[in-house]
Amino acid sequence: MTEVLDTLMIGAGPSSLAAAVYTTREDIQTVVYEKGVIGGLAAITDVIDNYPGFPKGVEGMKLAGELQQQAERFGAKIEFGEISELKVNDDKTKTVVVDGQPVQAKTVLIATGSDYNKLGIPGEKELYGRGVHYCATCDGAFYRDKRLVVVGGGNSAVQEAIFLTRFATHIDLLVRSTIKASEVLQKDLQKFVDEGKVTIHLGVTPQEIVATDGKVTHVNAKKGSEDVKIETDGVFIFVGLKPNTQFLEGSGIEFDELGLIKTDQKLETNLPGVFASGDVRSGATMQIASAVGEGATAALSIREHLDELKHA
């Protein structure tokens, strides 16, 4: 007879690791599958400065490691494997295909997060977390009284550029074509342009992020055929997010217009017994602290669902 797990979690980032702490403490059999790095984007962040309880900040890898140890201490099983399919069976159990093999579970938590769209230019990957960033709320405070470059022209780029003005002395906004942010945001941005805090560079495409002795010094860019050099202490890139949901194609799960998973207040998707939390969920704030909180909420909802199955 095929074993049916109590809960199977997809993705081993902060959200699912927090959920696993809650489920395993209540003796809910929990297996977490991860295809990449345990801790997700948090693990590859140099320093996390806004996670509660760490007044001096914490290295991303250290936080991820401690979350993993805590979940495993209570009995969570963390496995490496790539998920290619999720379906709900006639008996309401779920089948998740891991490395080509079916695994059965009563409940599933999807916490696969989202990846930031990349520019794909030299220096971007090498300097990630050390001068190149994708989250102003997370890392903006490191650049108090510094110069910054922000890349992008959509709502997120303009919102984050405005946010960064509270720290930076000056921001150069590099826009490949034209600004596509809403009129309201463009009006707000114009105030900072008029004050001299923001300079907008239209038709400019970054070519390389350059550092000296490990510190970002400038961005090499192109404006048409012209070479442009923009001095900066850091680069914030906002050219969209790509939710890690490719494996859910054909599953029947509902997504929003951005491709993020829709859930109700209990973080349950339209498929009963299938939950979502963290950065992959529609309405998520893309912060580690809130992802952890959502993991706890999802775990309590999973427990409630399992209780309902017992009494059915």
DSSP string for 115-181: EE-----TTTTTTBTTTEES-HHHHGGGGTT-EEEEE--SHHHHHHHHHHTTT-SEEEEEESS---S
* Domain pair 4-115+241-311 / 118-237, same fold: yes
Give backbone dihedrals phi and psi of 139, rounded to 5 degrees, phi first.
-120, -5
pLDDT tier at 118, thresholds 50, 70, 90:
very high
Domain boundaries, the chain: 4-115+241-311, 118-237
Question: How far are the Cα atoms of 20, 165, 281 from residue 299, in angstroms, in the given order?
Answer: 7, 38, 15
pLDDT tier at 1, thresholds 50, 70, 90:
low
Q: Looking at the structure, give the CATH architecture of the domain made up of residues 4-115+241-311.
A: 3-Layer(bba) Sandwich (3.50)
* Cα 202 to the center of its chain, rounded Å: 28
pTM of the model: 0.78
CATH topology classification for 118-237: FAD/NAD(P)-binding domain (3.50.50)
Question: How far are the Cα atoms of 66, 207, 228, 247, 298 from residue 9, in angstroms, in the given order?
Answer: 18, 39, 47, 14, 11
d(CA 299, CA 281): 15
Percent of the chain at pLDDT above 70? 100
- pLDDT digit string (tens) for 170-223? 999 999 999 999 899 999 999 999 999 999 999 999 999 999 999 999 999 999
Place of tokens 């001096």: 56
- pLDDT digit string (tens) for 241-295? 889 999 999 999 999 998 999 999 999 999 999 999 999 999 998 889 999 999 9
